[in-house]
């Protein structure tokens, strides 16, 4: 049997998948997002992602490696910390993280495998949104200092409770950020539904 | 296919030098196997459905705007309770002993919003969404999705419950918050 045609198609598909593949980066925690009918795509760059796990832990990340490094520098300067080049390098490779600042150095010095196994406790946050123990506000502030064009995306888990979500919202509002994107999965709108605007 | 030609080359006999004719067919089975293996891997590893983003705008806290109070008769208040249930009241303030109706998310809720919305002029109807502390993030995304689906333009997400509303929910739907 002549399978040349089939093999041709197969390799065409292979090429397509190789070229379009975007590899999943290891996230700090698994977050299963709810789905919505909103068809707006999440931008690829200049994005700050605030994750909210179902236990209520907060994770934080920005997209660009150089900007991550700048953000860490800003954060360190603001909090009287210092990081070695190796720690900065490790930090710039993290797509998101959720450790308080007093554990950050120890966390960055772990081996990649140990780091994956480490259960990250989340970034401390409070109910007022601007208290001294709220580290999320510092990260958001320093990230925006490193990259002024950042858009903010909230990625919450299905089962995250509303009070935790409210705390994140409060923190952002305290910094006068009033426009967010909520990252959701995509689902089809009900039959016959059309978007008017 | 890849046998070694032992018949001897040119150079003797009639003296003609001929290129050895090798078969052009090679066994491609291993290559094709590998190709399909890779296809399978890439199909499984790619995320085809990109996540979408839902925009949420909240009012500026630093601006104190005086707004006219909304008449309770035009307001549908939806409380997001626990176990993916929503409770709503319509037309009456919480202190006026309104009827509390419990619905699940999805079709029931959508129908409720549309039915209540037809009772008052469309430009007066307001939906107030009040998540309780038992509500999950998913419930909030779902209800905002319903707002998009039912094309309700006037809605508000309010995070504080008044004492009247707390009493109401405790009495009527045993929701202790």
Digit-by-digit pLDDT tens for chain B (177 residues) are 455 555 544 444 566 777 777 777 788 888 889 988 988 888 887 766 677 888 888 777 766 666 677 777 788 888 888 888 888 888 777 777 788 888 888 788 888 888 888 888 877 788 888 888 888 888 888 888 888 888 887 888 887 788 888 888 887 777 776
Which tops the pLDDT comparison, B46 or A104? A104
Tell me the fold of B72-173: Nucleotidyltransferase; domain 5 (3.30.420)
Question: For A173-186, how does the pLDDT look when each residue is reduced to its tens digit (9 = 90+)?
Answer: 888 888 888 888 88
Among A33, A34, A39, the residue to mutate for chain B (most B Cβ within 10 A): A34
Q: What's the pLDDT score for residue B105?
A: 82
- Asked if B123 has any chain A CB less than 8 Å from its own CB, the reply is no
Q: Where are the domains of chain B?
A: 72-173
Q: Look at A41 and B57 and tell me if their CB atoms are within 8 Å.
A: no
Report strand pairing: B85-90 vs B75-80.
antiparallel
pTM: 0.74
Q: How far away is chain B from the Cα of A52, in angstroms, using its nearest Cα?
A: 9
ipTM above 0.85, yes or no: no
Question: For A24-83, how does the pLDDT look when each residue is reduced to its tens digit (9 = 90+)?
Answer: 666 667 788 888 887 787 777 788 888 888 888 888 888 888 888 888 888 888 888 888
């Amino acid at each position: 049997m002549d399978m040349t045609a089939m093999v041709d198609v197969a390799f065409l598909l292979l090429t397509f998948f190789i070229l379009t593949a975007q590899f999943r980066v290891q996230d700090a925690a698994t977050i299963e997002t709810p789905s919505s009918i909103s068809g707006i795509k999440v931008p690829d760059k200049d994005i700050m992602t605030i994750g909210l796990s179902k236990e209520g832990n907060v994770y934080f990340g920005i997209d660009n490696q150089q900007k991550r490094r700048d953000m860490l520098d800003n954060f360190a300067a603001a909090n009287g910390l210092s990081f070695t080049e190796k720690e900065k390098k490790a930090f710039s490779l993290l797509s998101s993280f959720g450790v308080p600042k007093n554990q950050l150095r120890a966390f960055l010095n772990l081996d990649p495998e140990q780091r994956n196994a480490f259960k990250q406790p989340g970034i401390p946050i409070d109910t007022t949104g601007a208290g001294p123990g709220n580290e999320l506000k510092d990260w958001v502030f320093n990230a925006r200092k490193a990259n002024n064009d950042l858009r903010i995306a909230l990625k919450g888990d299905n089962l995250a409770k509303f009070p935790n979500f409210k705390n994140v919202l409060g923190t952002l509002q305290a910094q006068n950020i009033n426009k967010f994107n909520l990252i959701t999965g995509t689902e089809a709108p009900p039959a016959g539904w059309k978007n008017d605007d | 296919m890849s046998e070694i030609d032992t018949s001897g080359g040119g150079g003797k006999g009639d003296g003609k030098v001929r290129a050895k004719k090798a078969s052009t067919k090679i066994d491609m089975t291993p290559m094709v196997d590998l190709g399909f293996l890779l296809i399978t891997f890439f199909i499984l590893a790619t995320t085809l459905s990109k996540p979408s983003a839902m925009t949420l705008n909240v009012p500026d806290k630093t601006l104190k705007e005086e707004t006219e109070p909304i008449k309770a008769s035009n307001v549908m208040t939806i409380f997001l309770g626990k176990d993916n249930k929503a409770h709503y009241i319509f037309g009456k303030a919480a202190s006026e002993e309104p009827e509390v109706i419990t619905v699940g998310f999805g079709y029931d809720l959508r129908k409720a919003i549309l039915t209540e919305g037809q009772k008052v002029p469309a430009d007066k109807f307001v939906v107030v969404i009040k998540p309780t502390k038992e509500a999950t993030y998913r419930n909030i995304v779902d209800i905002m999705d319903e707002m998009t689906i039912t094309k309700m333009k006037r809605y508000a997400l309010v995070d504080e419950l008044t004492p009247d509303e707390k009493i109401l929910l405790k009495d009527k739907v045993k929701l202790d918050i």
